[in-house]
Amino acid sequence: MAIPPEFLEELKARLPATDVVGRRVKLIRSGRDTKGCCPFHKEKTPSFHVYDDHYHCFGCGAHGSVIDFVMETEGLEFREAIQRLAGEAGLAMPEETPEDRQRRARNKTLIEVVEMAAAFFEKCLRMPEGRPALDYLRGRGLTDETIRRFRLGFSPDGRGKLKAMLAAEGVEEGLMVAAGLLVQPEDAGREAPRDPYDRFRGRVMFPITDRQGQVIAFGARLLAGDGPKYLNSPETSLFHKGRNLYGLAQAKDAIRAAGTVIVCEGYTDVIALAQAGIGQAVAPLGTALTEDQIALLWRLAPEPVLCFDGDTAGQRAAARAAERALPLLKAGFGLRFAMLPAGEDPDSLVQGRGRQAFDEVLEGAMALSELVWRVESDGRLPPTPEGRADLNRRLDQKLRDIPDPTVRRYFQDFFKSRLWPDGPATGRGGARGGRRFGRDAWGSGRWSGPAQRLRADTAETRPVQSRRLRAAILLATAINHPDLLAEAEEELGRIAIADADLDNLRQALLITHAGGLPLDTEGLVNHLSEQGYSQALGRLLGAQTYDHARFARPNAGLAEARRGWEATINHLRGEDLESELQAAQDAVRRDPSEANMNWVVRVRRMMDESDQSGAAFD
């Protein structure tokens, strides 16, 4: 039965999260906050904050109500957690109708039947008949420990072996059919009905569990013979393939620790990654991602990474996932897309080249906005006005799919920055006016922040002269070392430059470089001077810049210039991240929503990843 919302509200009102959590976690009072060390990941400095109506960990992102806390820490299902808390609060549980009781009892029985089948398949894998299946799994590089952990099994050939085992245990045939374990033949036009038979025969079996680890269905791969290569359980009262994810029960602790979740296309990909130490992977259940699954992923992490094969089919699947996600977007929640090398899947990549190769793929994951741009533009900017107009029309159609006006505006600004790279900055999030947080904010797929993301003019709240000087140093370094400009063109295009003269010079420099002219420093200076920038260059390429950064001078070596460039960029990143962290923390104080709290978590992670050492000015 559905628990009435008013009952849940009364339950939460009677049991503040500080009381319930405080019985398991040592909490300390710090000003207006109550915090302690997180029970969901290892830490020495408390980052687990508890309020009356919820908890949130700024270290791992764990978030929820008292009900979520009891479910997670005690391994209870939703109704069981409600019952325990209701007893503690002195509330009587809402009465079930006879139909509710019957449905719950039947589901409990079905779970027991499916569990019996899972144990049977596991046993068959270790029998002589299951030897080909065991050899297949070992041939895929899976260890016996991994096989046991994921409870892999084998369904013996024959139409009635599972049926006979369950019948011997007293299970009714109707329950076997209801659990999806038997197929009931169509009997239209026949005088006598035909008997149900085993659905899975001669297949490697992959148990599918709910979040608590209870087996509710199976995926199966045919070893030999005729029939579909892959087969899943049908929809049952236990199993809804559009609402579940393969491997979630095994992955939830790793997801919490990593702060992200990886979505693969296949079950063996999830298993191979877990064996390689990448435990935060899950997979959809034989279909494209559904809206329910995307919502579930966002409850696990604000920026799931979808991993697709690099071939044409993988690109099409990524495009479909993007289309499905656009209408669901909201501030603070996005998707990243990691495209594998051609001919590789996660399983083959970690087996053949190791975990580091897969980590590099994840590092290159792109944001949803970047993926949409690449799909619609085919990775290139049309050279003609009419071509750009058509691309603009298609992008506008995608924008109309985004219901959240703030998110839609950021996507619009990003598309404008790509459509007109040689035009002026178009607003928040554009290539000229936007920010670059962490690594390449679009190329790596990292989302830059929720709706409250800082505007470019926030730079003016910092010491303006210091920031203007660093921007000048970067431009001088790029002009004096054109090889470095080729490496760092996108970085230069994404830093926020508040000074209009420097920003115009930066745009002219990038346009010149994009034109493909093989210019050295002298050629760049002459070309920019012809465009009216001679006075700006005179001020830039002089003692007022070089006295602060020797690496920017034309006689500095490329390696020295590169080190200085990286240090200066890192310093600017550090300033931006500190400002954004302050803005995110202010937002949490005003509104402790999950989106705002996830904003703080993301900024802190980016600060941990970023080298914030300043440039060696001298």
The model's pLDDT over 49-80, given as tens digits with 9 standing for 90+, comes to 898 888 888 877 778 888 888 888 877 778 88
Q: The domain at 5-89 falls in which architecture?
A: Alpha-Beta Complex (3.90)
Strand 28-30 relative to strand 153-155, pairing? unpaired
- CA–CA gap between residue 597 and residue 589 (Å, rounded): 10
Q: Give the pLDDT of residue 594.
A: 58
Q: Which of 216, 275, 281, 272 is nearest to 253 (CA)?
A: 281
Give yes or no for residue 238 having a pLDDT over 80. Answer: yes
Q: Give the pLDDT of residue 436.
A: 31
H helical segments located in 23-77: 66-74
- CA–CA gap between residue 609 and residue 603 (Å, rounded): 10
**Locus of tokens 């007022």:** 544
User: Angle CA(211)–CA(165)–CA(179) in degrees, nearest 5?
Assistant: 40
Q: Are 456 and 494 in contact (CB under 8 A)?
A: no
495 or 465, which is more confident?
495
Q: Rounded mean pLDDT of the chain?
A: 82
Strand 33-36 relative to strand 215-222, pairing? unpaired
Q: pLDDT-derived band of residue 612, with 50, 70 and 90 as boundaries?
A: very low
Give yes or no for residue 457 having a pLDDT over 60. Answer: no
List own/partner pairs for 489-492 with CB under 8 A and 24 or more apart: 489/513, 489/514, 490/440, 490/443, 491/436, 491/440, 491/569
Q: Give the pLDDT of residue 617.
A: 37
Average pLDDT over residues 8-33: 84
Give exposure, 169-183, as e/b (b: 16+ Cβ within 10 Å). Answer: eebeeebbbbbbbbe
Q: Give the pLDDT of residue 450.
A: 29
The model's pLDDT over 25-37, given as tens digits with 9 standing for 90+, comes to 888 886 667 889 9
Q: Are 568 and 552 in contact (CB under 8 A)?
A: no
Q: Give the pLDDT of residue 595.
A: 65
Average pLDDT over residues 393-406: 88
For 145, the token pair is: 């420990």
DSSP state of 607: H
CATH code given to domain 243-420:
3.40.1360.10
The model's pLDDT over 405-428, given as tens digits with 9 standing for 90+, comes to 878 888 888 888 888 776 533 333
Total residues found in the chain within this entry: 618
Which has the minimum average pLDDT: 297-311, 380-394, 483-497? Answer: 483-497
For 429, the token pair is: 């999030």
Give yes or no for residue 515 having a pLDDT over 70. Answer: no
- CA–CA gap between residue 399 and residue 368 (Å, rounded): 12
Helix 346-353 × helix 267-275 angle, to 10° = 30
Q: Give the pLDDT of residue 429.
A: 33
Give yes or no for residue 11 having a pLDDT over 70. Answer: yes
pLDDT above 90: percentage of residues in the chain: 33
Matching CATH topology for 99-232 and 458-609? no
The model's pLDDT over 347-374, given as tens digits with 9 standing for 90+, comes to 999 988 989 999 999 999 999 999 999 9
H helical segments located in 305-426: 312-325, 346-353, 355-363, 368-377, 385-399, 405-419
Our separate counts of H helices and E strands in the chain read 26, 16
Burial bucket for residue 381 (CB in 10 Å: 0-12, 13-18, 19+): middle
Q: Fold for domain 99-232?
A: DNA primase DNAg catalytic core, N-terminal domain (3.90.980)
Strand 153-155 relative to strand 33-36, pairing? unpaired
- CA–CA gap between residue 573 and residue 575 (Å, rounded): 5
Average pLDDT over residues 288-293: 90
Q: How far apart are the first and last CA of the chain?
A: 71
> Is the pTM for the entire model greater than 0.75?
no
All structural domains of the chain with their residue ranges: 5-89, 99-232, 243-420, 458-609
Which has the minimum average pLDDT: 41-45, 163-167, 191-195, 400-404? Answer: 191-195
Give yes or no for residue 199 having a pLDDT over 90. Answer: yes
Average pLDDT over residues 259-283: 94
Domain 458-609 indexed as CATH 1.20.120: no
Any residues with CB less than 8 A from the CB of 560 and at least 6 apart, and which?
550, 551
Q: Give the pLDDT of residue 460.
A: 36
Q: pLDDT-derived band of residue 430, with 50, 70 and 90 as boundaries?
A: very low
For 596, the token pair is: 């705002």
- CA–CA gap between residue 48 and residue 63 (Å, rounded): 9
Q: Give the pLDDT of residue 613.
A: 37
**Locus of tokens 């003269």:** 501
Among left, alpha and beta (phi > 0; psi -120 to 50; other), residue 338 is beta
Q: Which of 418, 598, 401 is nearest to 494 (CA)?
A: 418
The model's pLDDT over 128-150, given as tens digits with 9 standing for 90+, comes to 999 999 999 999 999 999 999 99
Q: Which of 240, 239, 220 is nearest to 228 (CA)?
A: 220
Q: Give the pLDDT of residue 362.
A: 92
Q: Give the pLDDT of residue 610.
A: 62
- CA–CA gap between residue 480 and residue 474 (Å, rounded): 10
Helix 385-399 × helix 368-377 angle, to 10° = 140
- CA–CA gap between residue 151 and residue 206 (Å, rounded): 7
Give yes or no for residue 334 having a pLDDT over 60. Answer: yes
Q: Are 495 and 471 in contact (CB under 8 A)?
A: yes
Q: Give the pLDDT of residue 463.
A: 44
